[in-house]
Structure 1
Amino acid sequence: MRIAFAGTPTFAATVLEGLLASEHEVGLVISQPDSRRGRGRKTTPTPVAELAARSGCELRQPGRIGEAAGEIGDYDSLVVAAYGQILRADTLGASPRGAWNVHASLLPAYRGAAPVERAIMAGEDTTGVTIMRMTEGLDTGPFILRREIGLGPQTTGGELTAALAGLGAEAIVEALDLVEAGSAEPEEQDESRASHAAKISPEERFVDWRLDARRVHDHIRALSPHIGARATHPDVEGPVKLLGSRVAEAGGLAPGEIFSDKRRILVGCGSDSIEILGLQLPGSKALTAAEFLVGNRLEGGFSV
């Protein structure tokens, strides 16, 4: 089939790579406008835009995807992966064989913007990807494929995102093969099992040390490394990013209280403690705990 593709971050670029390597023809690629970042406000292309340019695909970066609905209609199907905008009816219905979304959860669980982070925060040991036909509801359309993947107790948000992107790249090609052959059998989602994965708010980036150690650890790894969980310390100007942890199962420390020696940093939680494996101070580079403890110390406690 001839495909139009819409996506923005690295997750979407991985899915696009899978489509480009398949028998399907990707003609049009749509991504969000390039952003301006850093002190010099330099324009940075999105990962999908960068891949499209390297691959020689036609690239459009409209302010609203509806501006490209007419062009999308020239293709058999539209594939969407982490594009970052709500698609309206004119865009969803533009292609004769429909719009298909690669969603990073086993729908109807974790509908919304942050399915990877929310699944890890909830302590899930299984998640996956779903290929669904898009409707105007939030991830409510019927699905034709779901592929499952396991999570380890140390799996981070970054690691899971990469794994799901690869799985999604395989699944969307398989799904499009079914659509092309006329053998796809869409299945309605079970609304009684639906849950919502809202975008991570700025406030949610900060660790609540009153929670038990397992939940604190899940919070830190869910946001690592792309967002970074935060903690405040009275001796540090600005938030400290916590980029890795593990449950220490050691008592005796109050919530937020720090114990450090030359080898490790422990922080008390509502029950037990966690060991901080990686951190980043404002204006500094990310370091392992061992690297940080060479010439630095954290004493006292994080704010609760």
Structure 2
Amino acid sequence: MSLARLFALIQYPLPHHLLSRLLGRLADCQQPWLKNALIQAFIRRFEVDMDEAAEPDPTAYATFNDFFTRALEDDARPIGEGVVSPADGTLSQFGPIEAGQLIQAKGHRFSAMELLGGDGEAARRYLGGSFATVYLSPSDYHRVHMPVGGTLTEMVYVPGRLFSVNAATTHHVPNLFARNERLVCHFDTEHGPMVMVLVGAMIVAAIETVWAGQITPLPRGDVQRIHFGTPVRLEKGEEMGRFKLGSTVVMGFAEKLDVDGLAPEQTVRMGQSLGQLPH
């Protein structure tokens, strides 16, 4: 048995939510000696470049979470043409949505309807469309931005597990992104409907949006849908949310995304052009 498969298997019995919430409390600790030690250890372990941060002094952050979700300098991520990457990370998979299925990893597909919380009507909007998945590792910048401009129409919280979403787990846990806790954000854009799914993961203490603040963790229960009477408009490149520790964003488009010379498992940066959608 490979180490990757063993890593995936040992996650099944773990108390995902309990571990994540306990570590979330640690990450929100404001004791200077503790939070500074955590931040400095993290910077050394992952070789974090603080020169591009809006606040380059690690000790200036009130908590580890504040450091982890730090802002960058205004010119650190130029915004490219067409559809741009919503985050720094790895473009793990992309392609057409065929028969309502998305690629998770080689040999693994999952259902768009399940990803969207069992909403068949929403899933039908993306039949014949395309998707792209960006994985944010712990060392990446952890704010999520708009790949194109759009108006928020609905937000859906979907409860679930909190498996890790790294490469080892995506290759060995079926339906991973449709199993984990997630936040589904539906937008109207000039290219038609777009959905951005912020997927929770092991040790992710919370998911936030710019229009509603911290959303997760919520008490586990049913799918919760929130409609917005007042439009929330966000332009391409604007921040839309953030992860408190690393996770994954799955984007869905009603049209085919013409990808610009990229390959699965390629490193991307927020604002980098991914491709073009028809108007």
Above 0.5 in TM-score?
A: no
Bigger proportion of residues as strand: 2
TM-score bin, normalised by smaller chain: under 0.3
Higher RCO structure (Cα 8 Å, ≥6 apart): 2
Bigger proportion of residues as helix: 1
TM-score, with structure 2 as normaliser: 0.24
TM-score, with structure 1 as normaliser: 0.22
